[in-house]
């Protein structure tokens, strides 16, 4: 039988059992550490993308969508105010700017410091400029929409034409009243001319009123006909001037002097009504507010679409990273198992042999 000293004297030819055990345990721990480090890298990578989704991409989409909705709401409220004149639409427009557009754009400005997409930064700069222009354009439209000046043709009508019209009506009525008292024969055509003059004058004005109300150009044809009729009646008067009384002549001269002014004003009213700016608020809406709102909407939509695309990319990256992490975990489990098997079997076998030998020696001694 070999003594224990004999066993230890043979041992230096092979690595000691202690060294073998240390190496096998360190190998297992090393593989575990490498696996954990790999998993940590994957988790940090996924965390970075998840945080970017939660803190940057998501809020950017939310804020650009909120600003977009705010611009549309402000425009809808402005149209509501223009059409219905209800004060609640003004309040609503202000609220769209105060609660939606301004805070959303302020948030986008903050977020833009962390954007890596230069195109979106340029878009945001354009949005900032257009926002101020749009806000101002809306303010001016809201201001003018329900003032008399919104339709300049009506202001000329009320402020300038009315006194001239009243003068002509008063003088033609006075002419007719005096004529009623004249008893000489042969004045019938003159009386008819006075009545026709009064009628054609009133009808010319009425045609222009209808044109201003409806914008129907047929009324302009009526107006031109009545204007010619008035000129014809003035000719009749002029030819019958000798038949007029002194007072009638004075009244006729007033009418004759006022009529060119009256028709010049009607021409101005027609011109103002035919102009593109006949309704100032509508014109400003079409020329200033709507194009700017469309430009802002297009920019915000492009930003939203871009952020959506980036969200999809980030989401795919996070999913891919997690899938890789899952695969790596499975591979590590297998590698860990195989490595544990190979690194544990040999030392275990040697440990078992040594233990058996010790046991046998112990039993022999006892005997």
Partner 1 sequence: MQANRQLNLLPDRDTEPSDVFQQVTLGVAYASKLLDRFPGATTLPEPPPFEVGKLPVDVYRRLLECIDLIRQIAGNSGKQMLELDVNEAHLDGIVPSDVYHIAALAVSELAFLHGQLADADAPRTVYYVGRKFPSHMYQRTGLLKRQLVALERLSKGGHDWLAQSP
For CA atoms 20, 26, 28, 31, give the dihedral sign: negative
User: Residue 143 or 308: which CB sits closer to partner 1?
Assistant: 143
For residue 38, the Cα-to-chain-centroid distance in whole angstroms is 46
Decide whether 140 or 191 has the Cβ nearer to partner 1. 140
Q: Nearest distance from residue 51's CB to partner 1, in Å?
A: 30
Q: Provide, rounded to whole angstroms, the least separation between the CB of residue 184 and partner 1.
A: 36
Q: How far is the CB of 255 from partner 1 (least distance, A)?
A: 15
Interface positions with partner 1 (CB under 8 A): 128-129, 132, 135-136, 139-140, 143-144, 147-150, 152, 155, 159, 260-261, 264, 280
Spatial contact of 148 and 272, defined as CB atoms under 8 Å apart: no
Helix axes 188-214, 218-239, angle to 10 degrees: 160
Widest CA span of the chain, in angstroms? 177
Residues 6 or more apart whose CB falls under 8 angstroms from that of 254 comprise: 167, 171
Tell me which residue of 35, 43, 44, 41 sits closest to 331, measured CA to CA: 35
Q: Which is nearer to partner 1, 132 or 228 (CB)?
A: 132
**271-278 contacts at long range (C-beta below 8 A, 24 or more positions apart):** 272/152, 272/153, 272/156, 273/153, 273/211, 273/212, 273/215, 275/152, 277/152, 278/151, 278/152, 278/153, 278/215
Work out how close the CB of 53 gets to partner 1 at its nearest, in angstroms, rounded to a whole number. Answer: 30
Q: To the nearest whole angstrom, how small is the minimum distance from the Cβ of residue 260 to partner 1?
A: 7
Of residues 164 and 340, the one with the C-beta less far from partner 1: 164
**Min CB(146)–partner 1 separation in Å:** 9
Cβ count within 10 A of residue 115: 19
CB nearer partner 1, residue 186 or residue 260:
260
3-state helix vs strand vs coil in the chain, percent to 5: 90, 0, 10
**Closer Cβ to partner 1, 16 or 159, answer by number:** 159
């Amino acid at each position: 039988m070999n003594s224990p000293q004999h066993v230890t004297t043979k041992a230096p030819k092979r690595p000691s059992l202690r060294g073998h055990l240390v190496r096998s345990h360190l190998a297992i721990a090393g593989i575990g550490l490498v696996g954990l480090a790999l998993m940590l890298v994957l988790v940090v990578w996924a965390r970075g993308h998840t945080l970017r989704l939660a803190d940057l991409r998501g809020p950017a989409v939310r804020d650009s969508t909120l600003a977009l909705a705010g611009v549309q709401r402000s425009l809808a409220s402005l149209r509501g105010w223009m059409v219905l004149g209800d004060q609640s639409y003004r309040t609503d427009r202000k609220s769209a700017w105060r609660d939606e557009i301004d805070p959303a754009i302020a948030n986008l400005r903050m977020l833009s410091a962390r954007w890596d997409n230069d195109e979106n930064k340029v878009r945001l700069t354009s949005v900032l400029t257009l926002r101020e222009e749009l806000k101002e354009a809306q303010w001016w439209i809201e201001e003018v929409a329900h003032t008399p000046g919104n339709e300049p043709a009506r202001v000329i009508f009320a402020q300038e034409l009315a006194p001239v019209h009243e003068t002509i009506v008063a003088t033609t009525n006075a002419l007719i009243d005096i004529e009623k008292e004249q008893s000489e024969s042969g004045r019938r055509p003159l009386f008819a001319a006075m009545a026709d003059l009064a009628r054609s004058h009133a009808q010319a004005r009425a045609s222009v009123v209808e044109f201003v109300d409806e914008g129907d150009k047929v009324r302009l044809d009526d107006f031109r006909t009545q204007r010619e009729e008035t000129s014809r009646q003035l000719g009749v008067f002029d030819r019958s001037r000798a038949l007029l009384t002194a007072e009638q002549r004075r009244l006729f001269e007033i009418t004759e002097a006022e009529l060119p002014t009256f028709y010049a004003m009607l021409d101005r009213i027609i011109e103002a009504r035919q102009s593109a700016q006949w309704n100032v608020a509508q014109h400003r809406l079409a020329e200033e507010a709507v194009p700017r709102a469309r430009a802002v909407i297009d920019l915000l939509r492009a930003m939203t679409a871009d952020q959506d695309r980036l969200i999809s990319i980030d989401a795919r990256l996070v999913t891919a990273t997690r899938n890789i992490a899952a695969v790596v975990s499975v591979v590590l489990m297998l590698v860990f198992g195989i490595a544990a098997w190979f690194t544990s079997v040999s030392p275990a076998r040697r440990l078992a042999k040594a233990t058996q030998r010790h046991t046998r020696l112990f039993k022999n001694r006892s005997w």
